[in-house]
Structure 1
Amino acid sequence: PQISMTDSKKLTLNLEGSPEEWVEKFRNLRNPRDIATLLDVDYELLVYYLYKIPYENRYRVFQIKKRRSSSSTRTISAPAKSLKIIQHKLAQVLASVYEPKAPVHGFRKGKSILTNAERHVNQKYVLNVDLSNFFPSINFGRVRGMFMAVPYKLDEKVATVLAQICCFNNELPQGAPTSPIVSN
C-alpha cells in the first residue's frame, strides 16, 4: 500500500485502554495483526515501518562521549520517529506485563543506583560492575527467545515480529525505548 506522511501523523504516543487490558491483549497475541491492534497501529503501517522502510533509514547512528571518559565513545542508535513511537508503546505494554525480581533496580520506576546501594550498606565487600556495550550484547535471537519463553510463551511468529520491533543490526540498540525493559 501507499503510505503518506499523513499516515505517520496518525501514530500517537499513548495507548488506548488500561494496563490490565494491555496485559490481557499481550497474553492473547496470536499473529502480527494482533500486535498492531495491541500497539494501536494500523497493520499496514506496522508492516511499512518494519519491512518497507530501507533498513539504514530506520535508525540514526551516532557517537557520544561516555560520561567518565573523554576518550571513549558510546554508539547510539536512535530509531526514526514512527518506529520510536511504536517502541514506546511496546515498552509501556512490557512494563505492565513484566514482573521483575526484587533485586532488579535497573530501568525500573522508583529504583535507582541509590536504592540498589542501600541494600549493600554496611557490607564488607561490594562488587560494582559496568558491562561494556550492554544493550548491543543482547542479540535478536535472545530477544526472540525471551518472548517465546516463560512467562510470555508467545508463538514464534509473534516473538519474531516483537524482536524485529526491538532490535537493529541483530542487537538491542542503545537509544531505543524498548531496550531497557527488554534487557531486564
Structure 2
Amino acid sequence: MSRDPNAITHFSALTPIRSAERETLGAYLATIPAGARSPFRRLDRTHLARWVIIDRVERDFPGAPPTPRPLRMQYLLFTSTFNGELGEHLEELRLRAGAETDAIWGHCIGYPGRRRRASFHRYFRHNRLPTTLSFAAYQSTIVEVRTALEVRDAHIPFAVRAQSLRDEDLQAAFIEHFGIS
C-alpha cells in the first residue's frame, strides 16, 4: 500500500551543537530572512520549518521537574511540516536549501554535509525525535496553498474597489479586473 504523496508529515530532529559554536550558530540563524526570501520558500513541499537552540532547561512552568539535570551540551531543534515522505523532504533540504543547510548544521556534531547523500539522510534519521502530537491546519499541498494565496491577493484590491460600485457595474469591473472574456 503506497502512502498519499500529499499527506501532511511532521519531522523533528535534535542535534548536538559543537562546544563554543552556539553564539555563531545563533547569529547565523538570526540573519536568515523570513517570508518570500526564506530558504524554505524554495522547498515545494514544506509548509512550516523552524530552528530553536536549546541551551537550558526551563523550570518556571506548571509541572516542571523541581530539579532537572543541567544540559551537558546545547542542541539545535529542527521541526518541519511538509507534504510527502521524509526521504523526499530530506532531499529538498539537501539540494534546494543546501548552502543554508551546511551553514546551519555545520555547527553540529557529526553533520556529514549535504554532498554525501546517504550520510546526510542517516544523520537526520538518527537524530529524529518521535512526533506523537501534531497539528495540520489544512490538508492541502504547498502549491495549492500558494495558489490560493495568489488568488486571494488578486481579489483583495478588486473587493476594495468594488464596494463602491453599483450592481450594474460590478460584472463589467470583474471581467475587466480578471481579464475574463
Q: Which has the larger radius of gyration?
A: 2
TM-score range, shorter chain: under 0.3
TM-score, normalised to structure 2, is 0.24
Greater relative contact order structure (CA < 8 Å, 6+ sep): 2
